[in-house]
Amino acid sequence: MNRLTMETARELLQKTTTHPQLLQHALAVSAAMGAMARHFGAEAEHWEAVGFLHDYDYQQYPEEHLRHTEAPLREAGVDEESIRAILAHGWGVCSDVEPLTEMEKSLYVVDAASALVGATAKMRPTGISDLQASSVTKKFKDRSFAATVNRETINKGAAMLGMERAEIFTLCIEGMRPHAIRLGITAK
């Protein structure tokens, strides 16, 4: 079975997801996953595709997130490695699949970390153009800021990878910066 490609990920997500915010989130996670893959010397296009598709069933089944993912993706010919990573991103919340590989752990952490990076960038007149991890860390500590972003997931994911939180923010920033226009986080 071939590994998931961006082309297939786009085709599949298009069938279930139309909300601009969800599509922006898919792009942010995808871009962050590309940076994580490069960090680990892995195949960036594959990780980007998995990131893009990770919330496949969320728009249709927000209350049953990840329970309408495995069967349709398998049916569509998506490889098991990609399916497992997608299921593992909801570990402890809406899935009991534990992240084990670098790709799985990366997806688990950047789902939340890229959201915090995006929210921080959106607040700044200069957007993501000169954003540093230290600014994201300040917002991380301010729990009332972007309160829906799960800080615990970011801490747990970083620990699983044996990385500093700031390093993960830096990789998210690097991955997301080239997509600033589509992510709505350019300088104003």
Nearer of residues 55 and 70 to Fe ion, judged by Cβ: 55
CA distance linking residue 8 with residue 36, whole number of Å = 21
Least separation in angstroms between CB 15 and Fe ion: 17
> Is 55 an interacting residue with respect to Fe ion (CB under 5 A)?
yes
CB of 138 to Fe ion, least distance (A): 23
Q: Which residues of 38-69 are buried (b: 16+ CB within 10 A; e: fewer)?
A: ebbebebbbbbbbbbbbbbbbbeeeeebbeeb
Tokens of 93: 């919340």
Stretch in the footprint of Fe ion (CB under 5 A) among 36-44, 49-57, 101-109, 147-155: 49-57
Other residues' Cβ atoms within 10 Å of the Cβ of residue 89: 29
By CB under 5 A, residue 48 contacts Fe ion: no
Q: How far is the CB of 179 from Fe ion (least distance, A)?
A: 16
> Interface with Fe ion includes 57 (CB under 5 A)?
no
Q: Which residues on neighbouring strands pair with residue 95, listed in sequence order?
A: 91
Comparison of 65 and 177: residue with beta carbon closer to Fe ion = 65
Nearer to Fe ion, 70 or 111 (CB): 111
Q: Which is nearer to Fe ion, 41 or 89 (CB)?
A: 89
> Kindly report the CA angle at 26 between 4 and 147, in degrees rounded to 5?
140
Both tokens of residue 138?
Answer: 């300040």
3-class DSSP state of 172: helix
Only one of the segments 47-55, 117-125, 146-154, 175-183 lies at the binding site for Fe ion (rule: CB under 5 A); that segment is 47-55
Binding site for Fe ion (CB under 5 A): 55, 111
